[in-house]
Amino acid sequence: MRQQRCATLLASLLQLVAVAVLPAAAAAAAAAAAGGAAGRCTTSTPLKTYAKCIALPTQGATLAWTYDARNATLDAAFTGSFISPSGWVAWGVNKDAPAMTGARVLAAFSDPSTGALLALPFLLSPDVKLQASPLVSRPLDIPLLASSASLVDPARTVRDGATVTIAATIRLSPNRTKLHFVWNRGLYVQGYSPTIHPTDASDLASHATVDILTTATEASPTASATLQWTHGSLNALSWGFLLPVGAAVARYLRPCASTGPAWFYAHAAIQATGYALGAAGFALGLVMGSASPGVTYKLHRGLGIAAATAGSLQTLAMLFRPKTTNRYRKYWKSYHHLVGYGCVVVGVVNVFQGFEVMGLGASYWKLGYCMALATLAGGCVALEVNAWVVFCRRQQEEKLMRREVEDVVVKDRAAAF
């Protein structure tokens, strides 16, 4: 009976891995393929036709323009999309560098009073980046000759996915044809003040330097969508799922004496696979970091380093595992359990942090991972309850056996007298 119960436990854990991991891997691969699609630009807009256009490197945005060298006038139209019915889309120029701080932008959003589409000017000072004060519209200190914003058909109102065109006419400095453009979008507008935008990699890299004569574009290097999805999938599968499964195998199969050393080999195989995949995901994270200078996620990076360090220590500890008869074995076991469970907790927490970094905090991918993790947690709770029931039953049986032995001893002594 006990052998059958242990075999059932092992089969249940393997089914959890298959059911939760395979669909997630397929979905991640599909999303990675979809994420690599690039947008197209057009010189024709509902308002006018321009001379040149480019597809900007992030958010599916485009820019079309006509430059009149005689009077150094730039007539431009930026096209982007909203990500919320109460959101905003902004585009502008920075005289000094391809960065948000110091940029002069036009932000398009719905008037909270009338619902009409507005295009208000804003100066992005360092206080705005630090969120020390709300963003307040003010006249720009550049020669802005005209500006407007309009929704692109078939959109009639601001909604998630609605396309907007922000048009502006700017007089430039003579012979200055390389311009630093910035753009972004956010979820909310408080009154007439746009709030902070999401901070995933594409949002933080939404700036480029463009030569308006040749259309040559110098964009900030950023990790590709495929690399990001591969990094996220590997880490979610390894640190976020396989390592917890391996810990569960050791926790709930080890007491089954009928399994012999099979629990150890299953535990070691799952943990080794998880660590190998996690190390590959960690290495991809380092590659992404070097490919995206200026884009940093301190908490995510710190948790990743902590998980990788704990996993490496666990791997190295196997080389120094004392024999069961060694007096230091109990200390090694305490260390192994403490670091192992700590690695699992940090890994799972960092997976959730990774969802936020990738802008998937409210996505079906996060929901799917939560369901897989909840299934595993539910299985562990059931197995834990079963383990305690078995433990208490054994304790009761041993107590009854001791009483029977004591009764026999007492009877034998009485018979001897």
Query: What percent of the chain clears pLDDT 90, i.e. is strictly above it?
Result: 41
Taking phi first (over 0 means left), then psi (-120 to 50 degrees means alpha), and beta for anything else, what does residue 189 get? beta
DSSP assignment of 317-353: HGGGPPPTTSTTHHHHHHHHHHHHHHHHHHHHHHHHH
Residue 229 lies in a domain: yes
> Is the pLDDT reported for residue 154 higher than 80?
yes
Q: Which DSSP helix (H) or strand (E) runs through 208? A: strand 207-211
- Indicate if 229 and 93 belong to the same structural domain: no
Give the mean pLDDT of 18-42: 47
267 is in an annotated binding site: yes
CATH number at residue 109: 2.60.40
> Is the pLDDT reported for residue 95 higher than 50?
yes
The whole-number pLDDT of residue 175 equals: 80
Lowest mean pLDDT, pick from 3-7, 82-86, 205-209: 3-7
Q: Which of 373, 358, 387 is nearest to 297 (CA)?
A: 358
Sheet strands (E) in 96-159: 104-110, 117-123, 144-151
CATH number at residue 324: 1.20.120.1770
- Indicate if 54 and 98 belong to the same structural domain: yes
Residue 363 lies in a domain: yes
- Indicate if 156 and 262 belong to the same structural domain: no
- Indicate if 75 and 162 belong to the same structural domain: yes
Give the mean pLDDT of 82-107: 91
Which has more confidence, 316 or 4? 316
> Is the pLDDT reported for residue 21 higher than 60?
no
Which has more confidence, 132 or 358? 358
- Indicate if 205 and 226 belong to the same structural domain: no
Q: Which of 63, 148, 153, 158 is nearest to 109 (CA)?
A: 158
Residue 34 lies in a domain: no
The whole-number pLDDT of residue 31 equals: 39
* pLDDT per position as a tens digit, 349-403: 999 999 888 778 778 889 999 999 999 999 889 888 888 887 788 888 888 888 8
The whole-number pLDDT of residue 132 equals: 66
Which has more confidence, 133 or 302? 302
Q: CA torsion angle for 226, 101, 161, 59 (degrees, to 10)?
A: -30
Last residue of a domain, one of 185, 209, 233: 209
Last residue of a domain, one of 209, 244, 264: 209
Task: Provide the pLDDT confidence category of residue 29 given band limits of 50, 70 and 90.
Answer: very low
> Is the pLDDT reported for residue 28 higher than 80?
no
Give the mean pLDDT of 4-26: 47
Which has more confidence, 214 or 339? 339
- Indicate if 61 and 180 belong to the same structural domain: yes
> Is the pLDDT reported for residue 1 higher than 70?
no
> Is the pLDDT reported for residue 414 higher than 90?
no
The whole-number pLDDT of residue 32 equals: 38
- Indicate if 310 and 384 belong to the same structural domain: yes
336 is in an annotated binding site: yes
Residue 267 lies in a domain: yes
- CB contact set of 390 (below 8 Å; sequence gap of 6+): 255
> Is the pLDDT reported for residue 27 higher than 50?
no
Q: How far is CA 271 from CA 318, 343, 370, 407, in A?
A: 12, 11, 21, 49
How many structural domains is the chain composed of? 2
300 is in an annotated binding site: yes
* pLDDT per position as a tens digit, 300-357: 989 999 999 999 999 898 888 888 888 888 899 999 999 999 999 999 999 999 988 8
Residue 158 lies in a domain: yes
- Indicate if 135 and 256 belong to the same structural domain: no
Give the mean pLDDT of 256-264: 76
- Indicate if 184 and 236 belong to the same structural domain: no
State the angle between helix axes of 329-357 and 243-253 in degrees (0 to 180), rounded to the nearest 10. 150
Q: How far is CA 99 from CA 102, 180, 232, 250, 297, in A?
A: 7, 8, 27, 51, 18
The whole-number pLDDT of residue 375 equals: 92
The percent helix, strand, coil of the chain (3-state, each to 5) is: 50, 20, 30
Give the mean pLDDT of 246-271: 84
Which has more confidence, 199 or 308? 308
Lowest mean pLDDT, pick from 1-10, 22-31, 349-358, 374-383: 22-31
Taking phi first (over 0 means left), then psi (-120 to 50 degrees means alpha), and beta for anything else, what does residue 7 get? alpha
Which has more confidence, 222 or 252? 252
- Indicate if 375 and 297 belong to the same structural domain: yes
**Domain region containing 380:** 222-402
Residue 341 lies in a domain: yes
Give the mean pLDDT of 90-106: 89
> Is the pLDDT reported for residue 160 higher than 50?
yes
Give the mean pLDDT of 54-81: 92
Q: Which amino acid is at 121?
A: P
- Indicate if 308 and 329 belong to the same structural domain: yes
Residue 3 lies in a domain: no
| Average pLDDT over the chain, rounded to an integer | 83
Residue 8 lies in a domain: no
- Indicate if 246 and 193 belong to the same structural domain: no
Q: Cβ distance 238 to 198 under 8 Å?
A: no
Q: Cβ distance 108 to 166 under 8 Å?
A: yes
Last residue of a domain, one of 209, 243, 258: 209
